[in-house]
Structures are given as C-alpha cells and as structure tokens.
Structure 1
Amino acid sequence: MARTLAAIDAVRPSTEHTVTRLLTDPGALGPDELLTSDPLAFDLATYAGAVACGTVLRHSLRCRPQLIMGHSVGDIAALAVAEAITPETGARILSARHVLLGSLPSPAASDGAGMLALALPVAEVTGLLTVTGLLHTHAAADNAPQQTVVSGPLRELGILYELVRTAGVRCTRLASRAGYHHPQLTPIAEGLHTFLSTVDLQTPTIPLYSSTLAGPVHTHAQLRELAGHHLTRPVMFQASLRDLYRRGIDVFVDAGPGALLSPLIRATLPTATVISPLRGHPGLHLVERRLQALKGRSV
C-alpha cells in the first residue's frame, strides 16, 4: 500500500494534502472539506485508496478474480488494479480531468450541477422526470432495484428533492464536484479523450468489465474510452451484476476501502456471495479469514 500511495504522490507536487497523509493521518482533512478546498486531492485520495486496496488483495493475498469491474470514476482505479495502466498514469488522468473540469461552474454556484440518490427503481425515476418536466436531469446510475442516482442542474435537483421527500421517498444529496454521467459534460469528455489517446496502455493481466456498457471490454480503444465513461454515460450497475451472475460469477469482492458497493450487490443479487474484506478497520489476519470463502469460486 505504501508503495502505491507514494507512486501516486510523486505525480503531484508535494503539498500537505498528499494522498499518503490523507489516507493514513487521522488528523487530515475529511472528504467533505477536502472536496471544497482541494478537489484534485479528493479525487486522488479516492483513487489511491481503491488502487492500493485492490492491489493488496490481488498480490499480497493472491486473490485472482475472473474479472475486475469499476463503478463510475472507479473505472480508472480498475484499469490500474488490472495493470492496464500504472498507478501513476491513473493519477495523471485525474489531473488532466481536473484541469478540464476547471471550466465548469462551482457546485455551489446557482448555475452549477449536482447529483441525487433516490430510493426508487430507475423506471419510476425516468417517468417522474418526464411527468415533472425536469428535462435537463437524467438518470446517472441504475445501482440497485431501489437505488437510482440522477444528475442535473441544481435548480431541477432542488425541485426533485422536495417532491420525492414530500412523497416520503428517501433522497440523498451526493457530495459531487460536478453532475457526472450527463451529456452536458461532452466537451470535457472530448478533451479527456484527446489526453487518453497519449496514455501508455498495456494488455490487462485480468480482464476488465464495464459497468457503463454492461459488458466486457477487449480492445485498447475500448480500454481508453473506459477511463472517460463516467463523464457522459450512465452506470448500468444493476444490469452488469445480473449479466455477470448469468455468466456463472456468484462471488463478488468489494475491493475498495470500506464496503460502499456491497449493499447494492446484495440488493440486486440476494443469492450471491458478497465479501467486503476491508470493512471496518481489519487486521491482515481478519482480511485473510474473510477471503477464505473465495476458494474454488468464480469471483
């Protein structure tokens, strides 16, 4: 983990907000404060945590999955864990994206954009957006049978938030730098694609699966595009999980720090085995014990 964090820190001029400090010092800034004061450090720390944890599970614990899948911007971390890119290259991609996103209004600005998570199926959310005339808000992620994320202008999100809360539906404002998975980010996506065309890419040591395409990615062109899908394409996480299950994969390891995706997987696939080896603050022996369920299974 230390080597991974140091490699990512080396890409960026040293500041008090290095990812090593952010992820290991209890006195470092928290996510909400960091998102406002240093969004690039927030992005890099999120990425670094996922890459470091995924790398440890792959190599130190000899956990070899059949496929690796990211979620949203986690596709960049997935590329690094699968060794299609180096950890440093992923950090450079995020740095280039940071520069491109600098042209957008601040999330706090009146003309800014954001994201909401609603405890509703995607079909109901899509119908609700049509009926209410919120034409610039789109489904950004179909995460689970009862969780849909939408992306759009803050004005429309405010209307939707009040509407669904009045109806007794759970709705959560997501801390987000932009309204991701939205067609309005097409110019940003085009700029990032130009940068990605210059990035060194290797054949992944483990195959990658795209949760935006709900299918595997094979060619180098597809792998390059994968790193930018979070900008304009919706995440089809639920459809991806069901497709993988049909392919015979019935064990899913939530490889990031914590257990953010595990509840979504369990809600979508109640009969699958879902393991969150790094939830809480486990020691190495506890992590290894949690991974015993992987023996002889399709992960």
Structure 2
Amino acid sequence: MKKCAVVFPGQGSQHVGMGKDFLKDERFSRYIDEADNVLSFKLSKLIFEGPEDELTLTQNAQPAIFTVSYGIFQYAFEYLKDKFEFFLGGHSLGEYTALSCAGAISFSDCVNLVRLRGKFMQEAVPEGHGGMIALVSSREKVEQEIKNFENVWIANINSQEQVVVSGRKDSIDQFADHMRKKGIRVIPLKVSAPFHCPLMYPARLRLQKVLEAIQINKLNFKVLSAHTLEYYSVENVKNTLLDGITSEVNFYGFVKKLYQDEGIDIFIEVGPGKVLSSLIKRILPNAKIISVNGPVGLEQLKDL
C-alpha cells in the first residue's frame, strides 16, 4: 500500500469561519459540540463568529485549530482509509492533533490539554518581554551568528531557507539588527510570547501536572515528532510533548525524514490555512501536496 503523510497546522493558521464548510456533516460538527461541552464555553462561537482578536489569543487559538483540524480529519479519513498507509505529524500544536487523531490521546482530553497549553505558554513570560523573528537564512548561518548572543534561541526550522528565532525582547532586537547588517532579511512575528525556547520552562512544569492525569493509548498510526525526529510510542508521548514546549520545531527535518526514510512524496495538510503546504513545497518541490480545509481539498482527495 502506498504511503502518505497527513500534517496538521500550528498556531497562526486560525481565522474566523474556519471549517464552516463541514458544519452540516455530523462527523465534523460532533467535535465542535464536544469541545464546547468539555471547555464549558462557546469555542464554536469564537471559531465561526469571532471576534478575530479573541480567537487569536493563544489559549483560544490552540483549542480552536485543534478542534477544526481533528474534525476535518474524521471527515477526510473516509476518502483515504483504504488507499494509504498513514504517517501523521504536525507543526508544534499540530503534533497534539496528530497524536489525538492517531488515538493516543482522546479528543476530550486533548482539547482541554491544548487549551491549558496555550494558557500556560501565554503566562510563562510577561507580555512584551519576549519576541520571535523569522530569518530568510539557512540553519547553519543562524547557528554561526546566534552563538555570540545570550537569551536567543532557534525555535523553528521551517525550511532550508527559513529559520525562526525566539527569546527575550531586547536580545531579539539586538540579534535582528545584527542579522540585518549581515544582509539577512528579518521578519518580526506578531506573537504574544517567545515560544519553543527555555523561557517556556514554567509552562512545561505546569503542563506536566496536567499530562500526569491523562491516559495514553495505543497509536493507530505512526506519528513522527518534529522535535526529536523520532516516532512516538505509548511510552514517550508525555516526555516528548513536554520537551517540545522548550525545544525547537524542525519541520524541515520532519519532511526530509519522511521522504528519505519512507519514500513519502504525498503530503496532505488537514486544517485551516496552507502554511505547511507552502513550506513542504519549498522543501520538496516535486511532492504531491493537498490542503484540505474546504470542498476543493476534498475533491482533490477523491482523485488520489
């Protein structure tokens, strides 16, 4: 059976109205209702009506993206289940979605988990004290320059030409100026906290207590971590997720490993937006990539 990768987006892909094309189908809508019940507030209203600024808050965006992505996967899986051997993964938050879709964490446990994850990450560093920038540069170049700076760390390796750096605001500003002088394009990111760096350690400690009470089940699909580039198992789920709070996301390495080790050249992004599809296209220009966030994507699945 041919192999394919299903990938789930992280924070930043949210937008008001995401997933609305699937609302009439019970395979999707049941999870919207369940999220409302588990979280004891109308997440559905934020997803479909906004306002945008509230949806964008980390503690709202994470459960919203997770719920929509999870629901779309249940719908899309009907088109794919007899055609492919699945490999799942995601970018940051998307890794939680992948694990839940693989059966390792129940939907109800996971939607609450990512809500708290967002809250803890937001509260780990006072607002305005941290920052993140994207650099149009190679990892090697950034590593060479960053070693001369304190309180800045590589957070994401998104492609061979895009690296995200996270850290304290004053240090990030200094590093950004330094890289501009080196001729590197610097893009400030509109984020509320410096994610995926050691400054997130308080969030890790708080999330550990929540994870201790969650049952981890057998995985129905292979799930590759973009943090460790190793496959998840029942035994390593909790520690890998916790370590991911403070460590880099190597999405570039994730895509390359699936291609080189498994021969996968079909990637299906499930969830709002097309951020991961764009990154995969840069990494593997000849890959078959489908974004499933509405009817067009579903039609493309039928033709696979």
TM-score range, shorter chain: 0.7 to 0.9
| CA distance, structure 2, for counterparts of residue 179 and residue 152 of structure 1 | 5
- The change in CA–CA distance for 1:64 and 1:2 in structure 2 (over 3 A counts) is farther
Give the deviation of 1:101 after TM superposition.
Answer: 3.9
Q: Give me the whole-angstrom Cα distance separating, in 2, the residues matched to 1:248 and 1:89.
A: 33
Aligned-partner SS, 1:211? coil
Aligned: 1:29 with 2:51: yes
Determine if the alignment matches structure 1 residue 208 to structure 2 residue 202. Answer: no
TM-score, reference length from structure 1: 0.83
- Choose from 210, 235, 241 the match for 1:195: 210
Q: What is the aligned length?
A: 275
In structure 1, what residue type is equivalent to 2:67?
Answer: A
CA RMSD of aligned residues (A): 2.3
Paired residue type of 2:140: A
- Pick aligned residue for 2:136 from 119, 124, 148: 119
Choose the corresponding residue for 1:50, options 56, 69, 79.
69
Alpha-carbon distance in structure 2 between the residues aligned to 1:183 and 1:105: 11
The TM-score, its normalising length taken from structure 2, stands at 0.82
Give identity over the alignment, percent: 24
Q: Aligned with 2:86: secondary structure? A: coil
CA contact (8 A) 2:47 2:55 kept: no
Distance in 2 of aligned mates of 1:191 and 1:33:
23
Q: 1:151 to 1:65 in 2, by over 3 A?
A: farther
Counterpart of 2:36, as a letter, is: D
The SS at the match of 1:149 is: strand
Map 1:1-299; keep pairs closer than 5 Å: 1-14=28-41, 18-25=42-49, 28-30=50-52, 32=53, 34-35=55-56, 38-59=57-78, 62=81, 65-98=85-118, 100-101=120-121, 103-108=123-128, 112-130=129-147, 133-165=148-180, 169-218=184-233, 220-246=234-260, 247-278=262-293, 282-283=294-295, 286-294=296-304
Check the 8 A contact 1:100/1:188 in 2, yes or no. Answer: yes
User: Does the 8 A contact of 1:126 with 1:138 survive in 2?
Assistant: no
Deviation at 1:157, TM superposition (A): 1.4
Q: Which runs of 5+ in 2 are unaligned?
A: 1-27
* Deviation of the 1:94 alpha carbon: 2.3
Identify if the C-alpha distance between structure 1 residues 243 and 104 changes in structure 2 by more than 3 Å, giving closer, same or farther.
closer
Distance 1:210 1:102 in 2: 23
Q: Which has the higher contact order (CA 8 A, sep 6+)?
A: 2
Q: Alpha-carbon deviation of 1:61?
A: 5.8
Using the TM superposition, give the Cα deviation of residue 126 of structure 1 relative to its aligned residue in structure 2, in angstroms: 1.4
- Counterpart-to-counterpart distance in 2, 1:245 and 1:95: 32
Deviation of 1:155 (Å): 0.8
Structure with more strand by fraction: 2
Deviation, 1:34, is 4.0
SS of the equivalent of 1:228 reads helix
Classify 1:11/1:60 alpha carbon distance in 2 versus 1 (closer, same or farther; 3 Å): farther
Give me the whole-angstrom Cα distance separating, in 2, the residues matched to 1:273 and 1:215: 23
Letter in 2 for 1:81: C
Q: How far is the alpha carbon of 1:68 from its aligned partner?
A: 0.5
CA contact (8 A) 1:116 1:174 kept: yes
